[in-house]
Structures are given as structure tokens and as C-alpha cells.
Amino acid sequence: MKSEKFFHSSTAIVTLLAACFVVLISLGVRQTFGLFFIDFNESLNISNTAFGFAIGTQMLMWGLTGPIFGAIADRYGGHIAIISAFIFYTLGVYFLYSGPNTGVFFQIHMGLLIGIGLGGTAISIPMSIVGKHFPLSTRTIAMSIVTAVGSFGYFISPIFTNYSIIEYGWSYTFFIFALFLLTGLVAAFFVRSPKANETREIKSNQSFGEALSEAFKTKSYVLLVSGFFVCGFHITLVGTHVPKYVIDRGLENWTAAAILSLIGLFNIFGSLLSGYLSTKISKKIILSAIYLLRGFSIVFFIFMPASVFSAFIFGASFGFLWLSTVPATSGIVAHLFGTKYLGLLYGIVFLSHQIGSFFGAYLGGLFHDLYGSYDYAWYLAILLSIFAAIIHLPIVEKPVERLQKI
């Protein structure tokens, strides 16, 4: 049997490369915000709760606008959606540099504007556009490449940010970030949806409303939406509050940056492996295993004596599991419903992720301010790991009846 080509058009190559760069810039900047908390606290008198609420709002706006940008991408083209989102993202970061940054302004810049920007630039929209260029046999691998390159942004950005804050100050670092985001905006022009004669999907006359109705009548989709809530809770709890947590346990500031960098580095391998395994074994089994292993990683981190060694082990292990959920999750959505409305339907799944992110960011800060530690947030994260591991098992990985008839 003749093997299928990976690339079917020059547009697919350019789109994949441009989407990788977009996600690298978008996630690279996003990964660093937890490193600014000490400076925000000292310079702007931002409390744990206020910072957690801003990040939570950011995550929520990211999720709420994801389906909107997804619908724009599905109808008008991926580049239109991503360029529009980058404008919001760049403005939010620039205003963090220029000010004012106290009270409600901090919530607007860090929470509202950046959150809207992330809704169209980070992972879901670029990845869904890439998915439209590839057939089912190679789609998950293509999506995992986008995730892996974004993970490289996770790896390098904390190292750069820690250096830049020390050398130039936190405010000027945001100005540099704004310049980075402008390069992402330029790259977004090349993230193009496939033309009618380039699409890898069987043509469908299904309407927007029919797609939504079909999705929410599908039990497997509802379970996937529910489980992805946990992914968001985990990622944002760790990304937002681990920098303060390791300092509370007596470790130095650079350890926090090292953990975030290790998460990015090992996420590259985890994402690629997840994408590969998703073509070989059941995606729901992969997801259940990932969530369960996250729980073990957290247990190790919080119950082992605080040390650089245990911090590095956590960064590496949790990093391997960080975005490895994304290729399998997006792959199930595409397999169930096809790719015509992939931007919209994965955007809704991602909204659940971001609602979880809101609670991970906000409750982490709230518990710390109320009880003086993050312990209760970690305990909740462990319980959610068990919940997510169980809830993915009943998912049925086969196309909906509409696609089976074609």
C-alpha cells in the first residue's frame, strides 16, 4: 500500500511553519507572567489574590474568545482571526509597559486585553488551521508539531525573561515583549486556511448551528469538554503560582525560572510523543494516563523535601505532561466531527480548559492569602487528576453518524 504524502501543497508547508512561529511567540510571552509577580507586588502593590484574579480573567477571556476567533477563522480565514487577536495582545502587553498599571487598569491590561489576544493566537486557532491542511492519518502529528514548537517558546522565554528583568527591569521587558508580538502579527498573515481545492476534508453542507447541536448531543464530546477543564486548572495553577511557591519553600528566584524552562523543554518531547502515539493507540487512553501521571507528579513535588533536585524533577515530569493533552484532545474532536468547524468546536473544548484555568489561577492566590500556603490548591489539583483520568475512559472514538454515511 502506497504511503500518503505528509505535505499536499505549498500552502500547507507555509501555514505549518507560520503557525509554529505564531504559537512560539504567543505562548513564549504568556509563559513568563508568573515571574513578574514579585515585582508587581513590590512596585504596584498587587496582592496574590489580585494577581490570581487578573490571570484568571486572562484565561477566561482566552477561552471565551476562542470560539469567536474560531468561527472567524472557519468563515473568513485563519490569518484574519490571528492578526485581529495579535492587535489586542500587543496592546495589552504595551500598556503593561507604559501604564497606568494599578487597580482596574492592571486587570484590563493583564486580564482583558491579553486574554482576548491569546484567544486567537495561542494553540487552538493556529493548530485548527493547520489541521485543515492534513488528512486524518497525519493530522495529529501535524498538530503536535505546532504544540512542540510552542513548547520551545516555553523553554527559552523564562530564561530570557529572568535575565531581562534583572538587567533592564520588569517594565522595559514588557516593551521588548511587545516587539516580539509584532513579529508574530506579521507571521500570522501566512497562516492561511486551505482553498476549496486544497481541503483534506469531505465537503459538507452542515450549518454552524447544526454543528453545535450535533456536538452537544454527542456524549463523547461532552466528556472531552468536561475533562479539559482539569488540564486548564493544572497548567495555570503551576504556571502562575509555582514561582511564589518555590520561594515560600526557601528556594531562590532562579529556581522558578528553571522549572518553567524545564516544563517548556520536556513539553517538546511530550507533545511529539503524544502526537505519535495518537496515531497508534487509543487517544482516550493516552489522555487518562496523562492526567493520572500529573497527579503523581504533583504528589512528588509537594511532599518531597524542598530542593533544587525535586524542583527540577517536577519541572521535567510535569513538562512532559504539560501540553501533551492537546494533540490527543484536538485529534478526537477532528475525528468525531471532521474539520469544517474544527476551529469552533475545539474552541468550545478550549473554553472549558480556560474556565479551569481561571479557577486554577484565582483559587491558588485566594487559598494562599486565606491560609498562608498553596496546600489546598495542590490537594484539589490531585483530586481533579483522578476525576479526569476516569472521565475520559467512556469516550467513543469514532466519527458521528453523519460522517459514517458519507
Q: What is the CATH number of the domain that holds 189?
A: 1.20.1250.20
Q: Is the pLDDT of residue 2 over 50?
A: no
Letter for the amino acid at 358?
F
Q: Residue 405: what pLDDT?
A: 62
C-alpha cell at 116: 482576548
Q: Residue 7: what pLDDT?
A: 57
Q: Is the pLDDT of residue 216 over 70?
A: yes
User: If we measure between CA atoms, which residue out of 253, 266, 260, 268 comes closest to residue 235?
Assistant: 260
CA distance 368 to 325: 28
Q: Is the pLDDT of residue 250 over 90?
A: no
Query: Domain for residue 47, yes or no?
Result: yes
Query: Domain for residue 321, yes or no?
Result: yes
Query: Domain for residue 4, yes or no?
Result: no
CA distance 223 to 225: 5
Q: Residue 4: what pLDDT?
A: 55
Query: Domain for residue 1, yes or no?
Result: no
Query: Domain for residue 5, yes or no?
Result: no
CA distance 162 to 173: 10
Query: Average pLDDT in the 379-396 region?
Result: 95
CA distance 145 to 151: 10
Q: Residue 362: what pLDDT?
A: 86
C-alpha cell at 29: 510571552
Cell 505546532 belongs to which residue?
146
Tens digits of per-residue pLDDT, 296-310? 999 999 999 989 999
Q: Is the pLDDT of residue 202 over 60?
A: no
Do 265 and 317 touch, CB atoms closer than 8 A? no
Query: Average pLDDT in the 117-126 region?
Result: 88
Query: Domain for residue 231, yes or no?
Result: yes
Query: Average pLDDT in the 351-361 region?
Result: 88
pTM over 0.95: no
Q: Is the pLDDT of residue 293 over 70?
A: yes
Q: Residue 83: what pLDDT?
A: 95
Q: Residue 240: what pLDDT?
A: 82
Query: Average pLDDT in the 183-210 region?
Result: 76
Full residue range of the structural domain in which residue 371 is found: 10-196+208-404
pLDDT class of 356 with cuts at 50, 70, 90 = very high
What is the secondary structure of 236-280 as a DSSP string? HHHHHHHHHHHHHTT--HHHHHHHHHHHHHHHHHHHHHHHHHTTT
Query: Average pLDDT in the 263-271 region?
Result: 86
Q: Residue 41: what pLDDT?
A: 85
- CA torsion 348-349-351-353 (nearest 10°) is 180
Cell 483559587 belongs to which residue?
363
Query: Domain for residue 151, yes or no?
Result: yes
User: If we measure between CA atoms, which residue out of 232, 261, 395, 238 comes closest to residue 326?
Assistant: 232
Tens digits of per-residue pLDDT, 40-95? 888 888 888 888 888 888 988 988 888 888 888 888 888 999 999 999 999 999 99
Query: Average pLDDT in the 7-23 region?
Result: 84
Find all residues with CB under 8 Å of 58, minimum gap 6, and list them: 110, 111, 112, 114, 115, 118, 361
Q: What is the distance of C-alpha 209 from the center of its chain?
A: 26
CA distance 124 to 385: 22
Q: Is the pLDDT of residue 201 over 80?
A: no
Q: Residue 1: what pLDDT?
A: 41
Q: Specify the number of domains making up the chain.
A: 1
Q: Residue 274: what pLDDT?
A: 86
pLDDT class of 404 with cuts at 50, 70, 90 = low
CA distance 326 to 270: 10
C-alpha cell at 234: 493544572
Q: Residue 232: what pLDDT?
A: 92
Tens digits of per-residue pLDDT, 168-192? 999 999 999 999 999 999 999 999 8
CB-hemisphere CA count at 13 Å for 20? 15
Query: Domain for residue 3, yes or no?
Result: no
Averaged pLDDT score across all residues of the chain:
86
Q: Name the range with the highest mean pLDDT among 193-197, 222-226, 275-279.
A: 222-226
Lowest mean pLDDT among 154-168, 196-210, 277-291, 390-404: 196-210
